[in-house]
A and B are shown apart, each in its own frame.
Chain A
C-alpha cells in the first residue's frame, strides 16, 4: 500500500518503484512456480502415473506403426509393422518384409534391414528410462518429477516422429541410379494414404502408439489432479 502511495506522490522514483514491482512480481511468480513444482502428488496422481508406467511398458508388446501396401496383385496387401525394437513384415514368417524389399529393389531402394535402424537399439533403452522416471515420480511424489517426465517424454516423442520421417525421406531419396526402374524420389507417407506407382500406401499409428498417447494423457492428468495440493 505504501508503495502505491509513494509512486503517486513521487513520479521521479516511479521507475525504480516499477522495477521493484516487476522484480517482486517475477519473484512472486518464481515462488509460485517453486511452490507448484514442489507440490506433493496426491494418491490419484500417483496411481495415474503408475498406470502410465504400465501403459508405456505394455506398448512395447504392440506395433507403434503399420504401413499397409495394396496393389492389384497384392489384393490382401503387404504389411510392415514398426515396433520400438524391430521392424516386422506381415504374412507367414514375416515374409511381407522380404517381399517389400524385393519389390523395392526394382526402383533401387535400399533393403529395409533391422540392423540399419540404430534407433531400434536405443529406443527400448529410452522406454525403460521413461518408465523409471515415471516410477520415480510415483515414489518421490513431487510435481517437478512430473514436469521433468513430461518434458523428456515429449522431446523423445517428437524426436522419434521426426527421425521416422527422416528415415522415410532418406529411403525414398537414396535410390540406386542403376536400378531397372527409374522413379522420381519421394517420401512415403508418415500418416495417411498415398499412391506410389501401382501401390496404395496406408500408414497409420497402431496400438503401441495409441498406448503411448494414453500414457501422455495419464501423465498430464496426474499433474492436473495435484495442481491444488498444498502442504498440510
Chain B
C-alpha cells in the first residue's frame, strides 16, 4: 500500500537523520557581508519590527526585534518572573491563581478589518486551558481567563476573528464532560468529548469572557485559523486522531490516510446561542452541532495534518499533512458551494462531511513533513517542513492548466533550516495586507550549531529575507524556549507608553508625597504606604510584630522613563518591581521575629545600593510602643 511505503520512507529518513534539503551550501564572503548588513542594527539604532514569540512551557512571551533577532524583553504571562516582580504582588498573583506555569503556543495580535490594530496580544495556555491578554499600551499581561470550562488542552488557539470579536479555541485533548466527571479511557469514543470555544472580547477594553462552545467528537483538534473577506465568519481547524484512539496514539491515531478537519461558522454559532439553541454546561451555552445544522462541517485532510492557514485574500486554506509529502489547498468558494449544494460524502455524529474532491484545489508536493503555511500577500505561500528541515516557497492558485497537471511546477524555492522547523511566521501573514519582507523560521532542534552549553540545548530561530524571488537565509538566534508561533508587528503600528502618568494612577493606596506615607495599625492589620524615589523609601522603617498581617503598598513616584524601583524583602520571598508611576501591593502574615532589611532590587541610581530600609518584626509584647509597635515615620 502506497501510504505505508511513504511512511516507511519517512521513518527511514528521520532515523538516519538525513534531510533532503541537504546541507547549506557555503556562502561567499560577499554574501556573508551582505547578510550581516541586512540584519545589523547599529548601536543606538532601532529595529523595524517587533517579533512577539511564544515561550512554550516557559509560560512567557518574548519580544525580539527584526531584523536584528535580538531578544529585547520578556513579557511574563503564565509564570512568575522576579525580574519584573510578576507573580509577587497581589494583582499578578491573583491572575496566576494556583498555577506557576503555562504552555504558551500561539500569539494573536488584535485586528480591525483584518489588519493589526496594535491594541492587544492574546496568547493561549495549552496546559491549563487559559487565554491571556497582553495590552500593547504597556506590554503587560492584564487578564488571564480560565481555566476555560469544558475545555481540556487549549492548543488550537488563539485565533482571532477579523475585528477581534472572538478568540477561537479548540481542544487538543478530550475528557468526560463536564470536567470532574470520571469515565474509563477505554470508553473514549462514547464518554469523551472535545470542544470549540468562542471567547468574546470586549471591543473597548479587551476584557475576555467565555461566549459559547460547540461540542465535538473526541478528535484531537490541532491548529487552525480564521476566515476573512469571502470566508468572513468562518474558522478552520485540523485534527489528528479521527481514529479516536485513547492509547499509543503514535500508532493508533495514524491509521487513516485522512483526518477530519473542522469548518466552523462562528457567526452561525453566535446566532444559535442568541436564538436559545444552546444548552448550559458548567455555566457556558453549549451547541450540539448535530442539533444545530450549519454550525459545523467536517472535511477530510491527509494525513495527520497540523496547520490550517487562511491566505490574505480569504479564499485559500492550506493544510499541512505531517505524514504526507504535500500541502492540501482548499478553495473556500468550493467549500461554500459544497455546503449549499449538500455535496457531502457522509456524516459523522450528525455533522456533514464535505466531499473531498469537491472542495480541494490541489495537493502541492512540497516535500516531507509540511506543518505550517504563511503568506506574503503577493500570491506566494511559505511552508515549514519539519522532516525535510527547510522552508518551501510555492505559488498559490490560481494555477495554469499546465501547472495543475504537474503541481511540482508551482514549487518555487527551498531554503534549508536548522533544524526541523515547527512553525514559521511571515510578517503580517494572517492579515489581509501582510508586510511581507521577512520570514522567521522557528526550529525545534538546534543540534549543536551553537557553542556547547551542555545537554539542555536551546531552540534556534532563523531570519529569512523573502523580498526577492529566491529566499535568503540571513541570520539566526537562540530564541528563548520554546517558540511555537509568533506575530510580527511593525514598530510604527503601536505606541506604547514609557511611564504611567501620575494622574492616571487610580490606586487608592498610592502615595505621592512624603507626608502621605506611613505605617498604621488596626488590630493585627498593619498597613504600610511607601513612596519610592531616588534613592530612598519613605518611610524606610516598618515596625510590626509576629502574628500581624502586613500589607505594603509601594508607589514609584518617578515619571522618568526607565527609572524603575524594586522592593525586595529579605527572607520573605517578596520582590515587587514598580515602573514609573506604578503602585504595587503585597500582603504577608508575619511568622518569624527579626529585623529584615528591604531594598531596591532594580538598579535605579548612583545611590541605588543605599536605597534600603528595615522591617522590624518584634516578638509580641516587645517593641517601641509595647505590643502595638507600628512605627515608621516619614523623613
Do B606 and A93 have beta carbons less than 8 Å apart?
no
Considering the complex, which residues of chain A in the window 73-106 have a beta carbon less than 8 Å from any beta carbon of chain B? 91-93, 95, 98-99, 102, 106
Q: Which residues of B contact A92 (CB under 8 A)?
A: 499, 501, 559
With CB as the reference atom, state the residue of chain B lying closest to A102: B534
Q: Is B451 an interface residue (CB 8 A)?
A: no
In the assembled complex, the Cα of A95 lies from the Cα of B581 at a distance in Å of 12
Considering the complex, which residues of chain B in the window 478-532 have a beta carbon less than 8 Å from any beta carbon of chain A? 499, 501-503
Q: Which residues of A contact B533 (CB under 8 A)?
A: 102
B555-580 vs A, CB cutoff 8 Å, 1 = contact: the mask equals 00011100000000000000000000
Closest Cβ–Cβ distance, residue B274 to chain A (whole Å): 45
Q: Is B607 an interface residue (CB 8 A)?
A: yes
Q: When the two chains form the complex, which single residue of B499, B560, B607 contacts A106, counting CB atoms closer than 8 Å?
A: B607
In the assembled complex, the Cα of A93 lies from the Cα of B501 at a distance in Å of 8
With CB as the reference atom, state the residue of chain A lying closest to B533: A102
In the assembled complex, the Cα of A126 lies from the Cα of B308 at a distance in Å of 76
Q: Which residues of B contact A180 (CB under 8 A)?
A: 607, 610
Q: Which residues of A contact B610 (CB under 8 A)?
A: 180
Do A99 and B607 have beta carbons less than 8 Å apart?
no
Do B502 and A93 have beta carbons less than 8 Å apart?
yes
Do A95 and B606 have beta carbons less than 8 Å apart?
no
Interface of B, secondary structure class, is loop
In the assembled complex, the Cα of A106 lies from the Cα of B502 at a distance in Å of 23
In the assembled complex, the Cα of A187 lies from the Cα of B387 at a distance in Å of 72
Closest Cβ–Cβ distance, residue A110 to chain B (whole Å): 16
With CB as the reference atom, state the residue of chain B lying closest to A74: B560
In the assembled complex, the Cα of A93 lies from the Cα of B502 at a distance in Å of 9
In the assembled complex, the Cα of A99 lies from the Cα of B610 at a distance in Å of 19
Do B559 and A99 have beta carbons less than 8 Å apart?
yes
With CB as the reference atom, state the residue of chain B lying closest to A98: B559
Q: Which residues of A contact B558 (CB under 8 A)?
A: 102
Do B560 and A99 have beta carbons less than 8 Å apart?
yes
Considering the complex, which residues of chain A in the window 96-137 have a beta carbon less than 8 Å from any beta carbon of chain B? 98-99, 102, 106
In the assembled complex, the Cα of A93 lies from the Cα of B558 at a distance in Å of 12
Do A93 and B607 have beta carbons less than 8 Å apart?
no
In the assembled complex, the Cα of A8 lies from the Cα of B15 at a distance in Å of 136
With CB as the reference atom, state the residue of chain B lying closest to A76: B561
Do B606 and A106 have beta carbons less than 8 Å apart?
yes
Closest Cβ–Cβ distance, residue B192 to chain A (whole Å): 55
Q: Which residues of A contact B499 (CB under 8 A)?
A: 92, 95
Closest Cβ–Cβ distance, residue A108 to chain B (whole Å): 13
In the assembled complex, the Cα of A93 lies from the Cα of B500 at a distance in Å of 11
Considering the complex, which residues of chain A in the window 136-162 have a beta carbon less than 8 Å from any beta carbon of chain B? none
Q: Which residues of A contact B501 (CB under 8 A)?
A: 92-93
Interface centre among B502, B534, B560, B607 (most CB of A within 10 A): B560
Given the known interface contacts A102-B534, A106-B606, the answer about A95 and B560 at a Cβ–Cβ threshold of 8 Å is yes
Q: Which residues of B contact A99 (CB under 8 A)?
A: 559-560
Considering the complex, which residues of chain B in the window 287-308 have a beta carbon less than 8 Å from any beta carbon of chain A? none
Closest Cβ–Cβ distance, residue A4 to chain B (whole Å): 82
With CB as the reference atom, state the residue of chain B lying closest to A78: B560
* A→B interface (CB under 8 Å): 91-93, 95, 98-99, 102, 106, 180
* B→A interface (CB under 8 Å): 499, 501-503, 533-534, 558-560, 606-607, 610
Closest 5 CB pairs of A and B: A95-B559, A99-B560, A102-B534, A180-B607, A98-B559
Q: What would 16 more interface pairs be, CB under 8 Å, given A92-B501, A98-B559, A99-B560?
A: A91-B559, A92-B499, A92-B559, A93-B501, A93-B502, A93-B503, A93-B559, A95-B559, A95-B560, A99-B559, A102-B558, A102-B560, A106-B606, A106-B607, A180-B607, A180-B610
